[in-house]
Each structure stands twice: as structure tokens, then as C-alpha cells.
Amino acid sequence: MNRVQVRLSVALVAVLLAALTALSLRASGRAETLLLPEITVKAETVGRSVAGLVDRALEVGIPVDRMVGVDAYLQGIVDAHPDLAAITVRGAGGDALYAGGVARPDMAWVDVPVPGEAATALSVSVGLDPAFAREIVYKLWIDLAIVMVVTALVALELVYISFGVGRYGAIEGVEQRLSAVKHGDLRLHPPVESTGVFGDAARRIDARLQALADKVRALRADLAARADGVRQAALDAVAGRYRLGESVGGSPLSAISIRAPLFVFMFAEELTRPFLPIYIQGLSAPIAGLSPAVVTSLPMVVFLAIVALAQPVLGTVTERAGRRRSLMTGAALGAAGYVATGFAYDLLGLTIARALTAIGFALVFVAAQGFVIDATDTRQRARGMAVFIGAILVAGLCGPPIGGILAERLGMATTFLIAGGFAVASLLLTAIALPRTVAPAKHAAMIGWRDLSRSLSSVRLATLLFLCALPAKLVLFSVGFFLVPLHMEATGHDQAAIGRLLMIYPLAMVVLVPVFASLADRDDRRVLLVASGGLLAGLGTLLVLGDPENVFVLAAMLLLLGLGQAMSIAPQSALVGAFGKKLATPVSEGAVYGVFRLIERSGSALGPVLGGLLLGLYGFSTAVMLIGLAVALGAALFGLTVMAVRRTGEAASGDGLEKDTP
């Protein structure tokens, strides 16, 4: 970010947070004011109901001290209503005849007399749980804090998108030009497509730089005609120092226009993350020979398998059909899939709906990635892919907590319908933001068996793919996105709590991936980061040995998972390219990365079914530990294999990669 963008972002977020904090304070105070009277009214209603039953028993001739099962009945009422702590039937002297729950000194009581002539001054006292209102307000504050964080992130997204187009784009263009001139960089910049003061300023700077470049070109031609080598060498030295006549790489079409529709669509999918396994479990029916956990995993496996298998094919499809049209088609299919999921009434219908959503998801993902490639040249590719990955990571950070809150407040089926609405919004943003015609880049053909066999002929590349890339996705989707939500629901946590917990992993990724990516500048360091990240993510699952029902233990486990994968994700991608260049039989870079993505996403598809199988056989803690130990073992074997290959000299034969010197 440039300084103007940073300052505007800070100012915007500060104003938003100040306003949201004021609204939150008012909302929480209002909630507590409204909540306590409502609890009191409810206690009076419960008290009248119990008093009516006691009066009825007295009317039919049952003595007040001979009533059977009253204690159990009162305890059942207390257990069913967390806002009530105790219910007591009292005699004329105030002594307790029957009771349910546990009375506490700080408890407020609501007294309701037993009606009827036979009651003889009997009463029912309902005790209010003093912690209930505080807990409700506490959870409300957590939800409000999450909403504030998500609002700030969305605001930053809007600033980021705005700085690619329009007046903000012109401001950034002027700042880039002035900063370049200040540092002695006199290259030509892509034109700013904007009117107004800043657009005119950028064009005036461009005109001065162009005139200077034309002057250098004319001088160079004149000196060449006169064969004045000394002056020509001096001119070349000056031109090289200030990069006169060169151009800043890039197309006038900015890849940033893809960020808004991609972010909104990915946000729709992330909304479902905290409660999807629970929703599937509620619609599941027994299947002979399969455990309930495996049955629950099947729709997730179908979704992930379709995404994994379709993406290598869809690259060519979206290129021929057009990225914009493919994005709109994918968003429409995704919206239909989310709505169908919300209305599903059995496992088969749910699975079909998720399959439809998967096709839409794969289309959007591949078309968006292809659009970035089409809109950037090789010099801009890294920045363009940062836009692409950033939209996905921010959506992963914002979606789960909001999805959990919506599912808890409105229901899971309704949240799927809301996700469908966001998919429709993505379609509209695609229609508005993306140009109709973009020249497609030349892509390699779809990967085939020959590319797969040649890529896997490298020992180190094969171990990287099968012992690091595949297990990384397997542990994420089996533990993070399947086992943990099911376990938390089984131990009494609501969807909002699950969403808050699942926020930890993407938060770690957003913060730490750039940090570790900057450290991965050498191949020997990359190997260390990949192996260490896998070990950390895998061994972090051993925390469940402490207390698997403690939410802080689960949070620490997800934090270590995010930390480990943040360490390895960027170095892992870099190693794929480095190892691919050293293959004995050459394979195109695109094909090598296609094999990498296919195997990596196979781990995503295997994750839920493996988690369900182990959950049914061994329970939550053992299933998590077995998966984590397998991931750690794979990372260790990868590191040992790379060291063994280097020592045996296989690098010199063309399969490996020589150790870099510091």
C-alpha cells in the first residue's frame, strides 16, 4: 500500500470503529435493559403453570405433602430453561415442600401464589439465574466485536478495490509516479484512465517522462549516426541509471477488478463453514456398513472431489467461453446450489445440491485465476496473484464467524439462502466490474498421464506432493472443518461459538503467510520451512491429550495448525517450481503446478471421509491425534528424503536440486 492509501484506510477504519463502538455500547445497554424484564415475565409464566398444576392436584384430593414426582418435574423445567436456576413450591410458612435446581444467595426470586380455595397460602417461587443475563450480554459483545472486525476488513477491501479504479486509482497513480521520480526511476507508467485533477496530473507527469524518453532516443540515434562511441556510452550509462525509455510492466486493465466478485462469492461459501457438518448430520439417514460420521462426510467429499477433479479441465473451458461469462455462470450455479441446500430434506438431495455448488465454485475459482493471468504480464503476475489470494484469505477470515452468528440467530437453512444471495451479488458485481473482452493468455493444455508420471519420477517432488501438500489439506479439512465443528456441537457449543473458533486459522494465515513468504528466498530454507510447518501443524493436534472439551485447547490446536501451514504454504509452492525445473524429462511449469494442485486438492476430498471413518472407530481425540501424527511423519520423511538425495548426489544426475550457497 502507498502512503495515501494507508492514511485513507486508517482514517476510514478509525471512523468506522468509533461509530460501531458507540452503537455497540448503546445496543448492549439496551439489550440488558430489555432482557431482564423478559426473563421476569417468563419466570412468572412458568410459575403460574406450576401453580396451576399444584392447584389441580389439590382439587382432585391429593394432599400437598403426598404429591409424587414433583421434584423431578421441577428439575426438568430448570434443565430445559437455562435462564432459570431453581423452582420451589413453598408452604404457608415459607418452607420448601418441593424443589428443582440449586438456590443461590444472589438469586432474584419471582413468587406466584397457588390459586384456589384448597391452596392454603401455597406459592411457587422461581429463581432467576444471575449469570444468564451477563452471559447473554457477554456473547453479544463478542458478536459485536466480530462484526466490527469484519466491517473493518470489508471497508479495507473497498478501499483496496477503489484504489484500482476511478479517482482513487488516479491518486495512487500520481503517488506512484512521484515516488518513482524521487528515487531516480524515470520509467514510463501505464496510463491512468480517470478524469479530474489527479488524472490530469498523472498525464502531465507522463508527458514529461515521455518527452524525456523521446529526447534520449533522438540523442542515441544522433550519436550512433556520428559514431561517437564515448558520448554514446555515457548516454547509455545515464539512461541505464535512471531507466530512461523503459516502461513499468503491466496492462492498463488492472487485475484488481476481480477482487470484489471473488471476495463476495468466497464469502458465501465461508458462511457455511462452521455449521455445514452439523447441518448434514441433521439430514443424514443410516447407510448399511457405514458409520454415522462417514455418512455425514459424504456430501463434503462429493463437493471437494468435484472441485479437485474439475479444475484441471475448466482452465481450457473458461478460456474458450470467456472468463466473465464463466464467472457469471459459476456464480449462478453456486447460488442455485446454496438455495437448494437450504431446502434439502434428505441426504441425497443435499448431496446433489452440494455437487451443483461445487461446479459453480470450481468455475468461479478457475475463471478468476484465469482472469488474473490474462490481465497481467509476467512482471505483474505476482501482484495479480496476491490480489487473488488476498480476496480468498479475507473471505475465509470474515465468513465463518458471521456464518455462525447467522446460523445461531436465524437458522442454518436460512443462512444457506443468505449465502445464495451473496452468490447472486457476486454475479452482479462480475457483470458490472469485469470488462466484456479480455485477450486470453496462452495456456498449456490440460495435464495428462505423461505429465503426471514425469512429475512423480522425481523423488523429492513426489515426496513434497504426497508427504506435504496432500497431508496439509487433509488435516485442514478433516480436523479443522469437519471434526472440530462436530465435536463442538456435540459438547454443547452453538454455531456462533464454532464460527468464532474457526476464525483463528484464517487469521493466522492472513497475518503470517506474508512473513514466512519473505523468509523463503532460498531453496534450503524453503525445505526447512515446509518440514517444520508440517511438524508443527501435525504435532499441534496432540494438545487434545489435555482436555478435548476445553475450547481454549481447541483454539490453541487451530492456532498451531494455522501457524504451521503459514510457514509452509509459500515455500511449498516455490519448491514445486524449483523441483519441476530439475526434472530429468522436461515438463512445462503449468503442467507441474497442475499436478501439484490436483494432488493437493485430493487431500481436501479425502479429509472429511478419513475424519469420519476415524471418528466412528476411535472417537474425536484419537482421530485427531492419528491424523496429526501422520502429517508430522510425512513432513519428517520429506525433510529426511531431501537430505538423503543431496548426500547421495542425485542432484547432479538431474533429478534433484543442488544445495544453494549462502
Q: Which of 391, 412, 443 is where one domain is finished?
A: 443
The reply to whether 305 falls in a domain is yes
Same domain for 414 and 464?
A: no
Residue position matching grid coordinates 508527458: 207
- pLDDT score recorded for residue 447: 64
Strands 123-128 and 84-90: antiparallel
What is the residue range of 178's domain?
169-242
Q: Tell me how far CA of residue 246 lies from CA of 213, 249, 542, in angstroms.
A: 8, 9, 56
Q: How many domains does the chain have?
A: 4
Asked if 498 and 641 sit in the same domain, the reply is: yes
Residue 433 shares a structural domain with residue 573: no
Judge whether 499 and 401 are in contact, CB under 8 Å. yes
Asked whether the beta carbons of 475 and 561 are under 8 A apart, the reply is: yes
Residues 230 and 302 in one domain: no
Let me know if residue 11 belongs to a domain: no
Q: Are 236 and 260 in the same domain? A: no
pLDDT recorded at residue 32? 61
How far is residue 302 from each of residues 247, 272, 474, measured CA to CA in Å? Answer: 48, 16, 15
| Spatial separation of the C-alpha atoms in residues 5 and 156, rounded to whole Å | 10
Q: What is the pLDDT of residues 206-241, one digit of tens each?
A: 888 888 888 888 888 887 778 777 788 888 888 888
Q: What is the pLDDT of residue 435?
A: 73
Do 428 and 550 share a domain, yes or no?
no
Residue 158, domain member (yes or no): no
Per-residue model confidence (pLDDT) at position 650: 47
Q: Can you name the residues that pair with 110 across neighbouring β-strands?
A: 126
- Beta-carbon neighbour count of residue 392 at 10 Å? 20
Q: For the chain, which residues score pLDDT lower than 50?
A: 1, 251-253, 444, 650-662
Separation CA 613–CA 629 (nearest Å) = 16
pLDDT of residue 326: 92
pLDDT score, position 561? 94
Q: Same domain, yes or no, for 488 and 634?
A: yes
> What confidence score (pLDDT) does residue 453 get?
83
Measure the CA–CA gap between 284 and 622, rounded to whole angstroms. Answer: 24
Residue 631 lies in a domain: yes
> pTM score > 0.85 for this model?
no
Nearest 10 degrees: Cα torsion 90, 96, 97, 99: 100
DSSP state of 483: I
Query: φ and ψ at 81, to 5 degrees?
Result: -130, 100
Q: Are residues 228 and 319 in the same domain?
A: no
Measure the CA–CA gap between 642 and 464, rounded to whole angstroms: 9
Answer for the pair 84, 129: CB distance below 8 angstroms, yes or no: yes
**286 in the same domain as 202:** no
User: CATH number, domain at 496?
Assistant: 1.20.1250.20
Strand partners, 89: 98, 124
Q: Out of 131, 158, 181, pick the residue that ends a domain.
A: 131
The residue to which cell 390459586 is assigned: 115
Q: What is the pLDDT of residue 310?
A: 86
The reported pLDDT for the residue numbered 652 is 47
Q: Distance (Å, rounded) from C-alpha 340 to C-alpha 362?
A: 18
| Cα 395 to Cα 267: distance, rounded to the nearest angstrom | 5
Looking at the structure, do residues 204 and 317 belong to the same domain, yes or no?
no
Among candidates 411, 273, 424, 268, which has minimal Cα distance to 342? Answer: 411
> In this structure, are 31 and 113 located in the same domain?
yes
